[in-house]
Amino acid sequence: MYTILITNDDGIHSPGLKALKEALAPLGKVVTVAPDRDNSAISHALTMNRPLRLTKLDEDVYTLDGTPTDCVSIALGKVLDRLPDLLVSGINNGPNIGDDITYSGTVSAAIEGTMYAVSSMAVSMAGEPPLDYARADDLVRELALRVIDQGLPANTLMNVNLPADSKLQGVRITRQGRRIWKQAVQEVKDPRGRVHYWIGGGTPLLDSGKDTDVRALGEGFVSISPIHLDLTNHEGISYFRDDLQLEKLLGGADNL
């Protein structure tokens, strides 16, 4: 029987988390440690300026007054007595593709698991709420089984996005695309006439690359991307070294 840790960034009461638990329950023991409130767009934040309170709600169900990354950290360090066979974060209300991945608390929880060498998946769903998370059930369970049985490449998580279209027409293996939001800041006035700003909304400028997560989702396919933690642009190394000649600063690179 497998032990699977689940978390999310939408909070412990999110229907996507409930659907995830139901999808994975046939595989073994599912342990939930999730934030007590919505932490969407919290990225990989770790709470270091106050203590965290873990509350047991039920057998193998805990909530934490912290971030998704806090949840994974405390689950792996304190709640579980050994590393789980799999970590799954989601099912997020909304896609996590392209540049948005860097904001994502859902993906960041999977990043945290990957940093501890736990096979980790992030699962998100596009579309207008209320989302029918149950339609991801069979696919999520099948993916989880494959990842548990065969593992993932080192330092790599599986980022799964389901399209808004309820009829799943297929899976595409993709790379991270671009998804830049135009006019993402809205200016509004409060009842006293003061100006405030809302970040979010606007129109996404979509990526045109054929093999991207953005394109796959836009065409109604399930997108599965291998995401790794190495943020280095390896092509940039030769540019910094040879074109900008940065190693010639401060007396050269003789120590290399």
Chain contacts with Mn ion (rule: CB under 5 A): 9-10, 40, 92
Structural contact between residues 97 and 223, judged by C-beta atoms closer than 8 angstroms: yes
In the complex with Mn ion, the residue whose CB is nearer, 68 or 218, is: 68
* CB-based burial label for 219 (10 Å; 0-12, 13-18, 19+): middle
In the complex with Mn ion, the residue whose CB is nearer, 104 or 114, is: 104
Min dist CB 107 to Mn ion, Å, is 10
Structural contact between residues 206 and 214, judged by C-beta atoms closer than 8 angstroms: yes
What is the sign of the dihedral through the CA atoms of 17, 22, 28 and 31? positive
Question: Cβ-closest residue to Mn ion?
Answer: 40
**β-bridge pairing 179-182 and 203-206:** antiparallel
Structural contact between residues 89 and 75, judged by C-beta atoms closer than 8 angstroms: no
In the complex with Mn ion, the residue whose CB is nearer, 39 or 85, is: 39
For tokens 């994974």, the residue is: 72
Min dist CB 106 to Mn ion, Å, is 6
Min dist CB 64 to Mn ion, Å, is 16
Min dist CB 54 to Mn ion, Å, is 21
In the complex with Mn ion, the residue whose CB is nearer, 85 or 112, is: 112
Structural contact between residues 37 and 11, judged by C-beta atoms closer than 8 angstroms: yes
Q: How large is the angle between the packed helices 137-150 and 15-24, nearest 10 degrees?
A: 60
In the complex with Mn ion, the residue whose CB is nearer, 85 or 159, is: 159
Min dist CB 36 to Mn ion, Å, is 14
Min dist CB 68 to Mn ion, Å, is 9
Please list, in sequence order, all residues whose beta carbon lies within 8 angstroms of the beta carbon of residue 104, skipping any fewer than 6 positions away. 9, 41, 43, 92, 96, 122, 124
CA atoms within 13 A on the CB side of 69: 17
In the complex with Mn ion, the residue whose CB is nearer, 40 or 73, is: 40
